[in-house]
Structure 1
Amino acid sequence: MKSRLLVAAVGVPLLFYIVLGAPPIVMMAALCALSGVAAMELMQCVGIAKRSFLFGWTVICAVFSVTWYYDRPEYMEVLWFLYVLVTFFFAIYKAGEIKLVHILAGLFAVIAIPYSFSAFIRMEDAGIPRVCLLLPFIFSFLSDTGGYFGGRFFGKHKLAPKVSPKKTVEGSIGGLAGNVLGAVIFAAVMNQWFYAGIVNSYLGMILLGLVCSVVAQIGDLSFSLIKREFGIKDYGHLFLEHGGVLDRFDSVLFVTPLIEIVLQFVR
């Protein structure tokens, strides 16, 4: 708990600044950095050495993908093709040292992870108020927090013991409850003090919170599944005892594209 509070004391103000007050270039830089670190963590997880060409090549492409998804999406296929071509050339050169799992992990790091992080920039560019960019974090972190306390105080029935032994059904329900509370508070605060009428339906916001909690838990369990397959406890140590980017932002990576899609339809 002390570690959670320490990370929150530093991370929450920084998050609010980057999302709500920082110039767009700062947000872009932060998202590029997160994408690059996430790529590093994933490649290390699947067994690619830090000094390997494939390691550096994947990290560079993951960073550039964030900007390309936003600034020049019509050229993303060029980047993907170039990544695949160079990666397989390197794999052929190494003659068996590079496995298919390494290549697939690299593709995930270059395509899926940057796509999720760049959604924040796309939403802002589409005219969505910056305050709404907090929703992926609110619904991811409150689902996680609700799940933590729900599991700690009421957890009895295992949710997915072969994937994440500590996760419980009661914790999952706690995550849903956390997002319901977060949805109501967010709607009330926005309508009362900041953007009157930005949330037209409390029921709609609650339903969004519930769906996001389900998606967030799938994201959490998905990255736990990868960790268990490769026998690691955490992806990294950027956030002290809470692990790395993929440990802290696993749910965010799944929730953010969903929020982007929903907001495109309800604006």
Structure 2
Amino acid sequence: MSNLAQRLITAFIAIPIVFFMLWFCDYSRIGLMCFLAGVAAWEWARMASKMYKGPDMRFLSFASAFALTLAWALSEGGYFGLPAVPCVVGMTFLVVFAVYIAVAYAKVEIDHLFPWLVMQLGAPLYIGLWGGVNALMMGSGQGFEHCYPFILVMTSMWLCDTVAYFFGKFAAGKGPFGRHAFAPSISPKKTWEGSIAGSIATVAWVAYWVKCSAALGSFHVQFTWVSAIGIGLLLTVAGQAGDLLMSALKRWSGTKDSGNLFVGHGGVLDRCDSFYLAAPALFFLLDFMQKIA
């Protein structure tokens, strides 16, 4: 079976499951976010272990990213019928940080201690502490209206990746379109043509979605078409930057796919890499716009 066929089959199975969990309730939404964060951190720890000697940190990375993502949800309040828990993110981070330092001092040779600690700690920091902001874009209750901002990020990143993949694979280098490597030292198959095509599709989708959703009050912010297009540009730039960051990590560690959770697509970091920058970028921008409105 071709890789494209595997990609399509996996997408047809995974997408309905993801949307059901986003629709069902806050338990399923936050559970999905925590699980994906944990698996992504597991994959990160496995790749980092290839480069520096030290103990197996996959289980601790999973638990740390899971806990930090959950902490973001608990800090917001309203989830699981609980009030906001003050300082829970900071306290969870301090515990994770202390555990990692203790493991490094006890188990890692001094020659590898600092780079090992930086790369291993990067998993809970980037995936859990930064990417955990995904959880703040969701609310409690049944229905998609409780997580419109995250659905916007998710669909726009999928659209950008899909358009860039198919345009770069089948159109770039043919007819009037050239084929210029986007980041040859990081991801040789990515092209400027695919990136631009994905960006145009993403900006159009985000601008339309934001204007329609804003009209329904989903974002609690009034957008002009100019600001809506700006949101689209922010998401496509942040998403592709996150994609390249994970591609650099894989190339640095000599890894083709971060995992195999999604057959034909790779692991969580292969499919969700763009979320970990795009979602926080949108969240903080919306928060800023609400406060100055």
Q: TM-score, normalised by structure 1?
A: 0.86
Shift of 1:126: 10
Counterpart of 1:137, as a letter, is M
SS at match of 2:189: strand
Q: In angstroms, what is the RMSD of aligned CA positions?
A: 2.8
1:10 aligns with one of 7, 10, 13? 13
2:138 aligns with one of 124, 129, 133? 124
CA contact (8 A) 2:258 2:266 kept: yes
Structure 2 match to 1:74: 87
1:57-96 counterparts in 2 under 5 A?
57-71=60-74, 72=85, 74-96=87-109
Structure 1 residues without counterparts, runs of 5 or longer: none
For residues 133-172 of structure 1, the C-alpha deviation after alignment (integer angstroms, 9 at most, x for no partner) is 2111122111112211231212511111111001111111
Q: Distance in 2 between matches of 1:249 and 1:235?
A: 11
**Aligned in 2, Cα 1:130/1:217: closer, same or farther, shift over 3 Å?**
same
Structure 1 match to 2:176: none
CA contact (8 A) 1:54 1:87 kept: no
CA contact (8 A) 1:242 1:248 kept: yes
Counterpart of 2:137, as a letter, is M
CA contact (8 A) 1:39 1:106 kept: no
Q: Distance in 1 between matches of 2:32 and 2:100?
A: 26
Counterpart of 1:238, as a letter, is L
Bigger shift: 120-129 or 92-101?
120-129
Structure 2 match to 1:141: 158
The answer to whether structure 1 residue 111 and structure 2 residue 131 are counterparts is no
Structure 2 match to 1:154: 172
CA contact (8 A) 1:45 1:227 kept: yes
SS at match of 1:254: helix
**Aligned in 2, Cα 1:88/1:145: closer, same or farther, shift over 3 Å?**
same
Tell me the number of residue pairs that the alignment of Structure 1 and Structure 2 aligns.
263
1:220-235 counterparts in 2 under 5 A?
220-235=243-258
**Aligned in 2, Cα 1:91/1:200: closer, same or farther, shift over 3 Å?**
closer
For residues 192-228 of structure 1, the C-alpha deviation after alignment (integer angstroms, 9 at most, x for no partner) is 9xx3796643332222112211111111111101111
Structure 2 residues without counterparts, runs of 5 or longer: 75-84, 174-178
Structure 1 match to 2:233: 210
**Aligned in 2, Cα 1:197/1:78: closer, same or farther, shift over 3 Å?**
closer
Counterpart of 1:3, as a letter, is Q
For residues 63-112 of structure 1, the C-alpha deviation after alignment (integer angstroms, 9 at most, x for no partner) is 11111123246133333333333323322322518643332233222222
SS at match of 1:236: coil
The answer to whether structure 1 residue 45 and structure 2 residue 68 are counterparts is no
Structure with greater helix share of residues: 1
Counterpart of 1:175, as a letter, is G
1:235-254 counterparts in 2 under 5 A?
235-254=258-277
Counterpart of 2:162, as a letter, is T
Shift of 1:184: 4.5
Structure 2 match to 1:31: 33
**Aligned in 2, Cα 1:32/1:191: closer, same or farther, shift over 3 Å?**
closer
Q: Distance in 2 between matches of 1:23 and 1:126?
A: 6
Q: Distance in 1 between matches of 2:217 and 2:255?
A: 47
Shift of 1:53: 5.6
Percent identical across equivalent pairs?
28
CA contact (8 A) 1:35 1:66 kept: yes
Q: Distance in 2 between matches of 1:89 and 1:58?
A: 14
CA contact (8 A) 1:179 1:206 kept: no
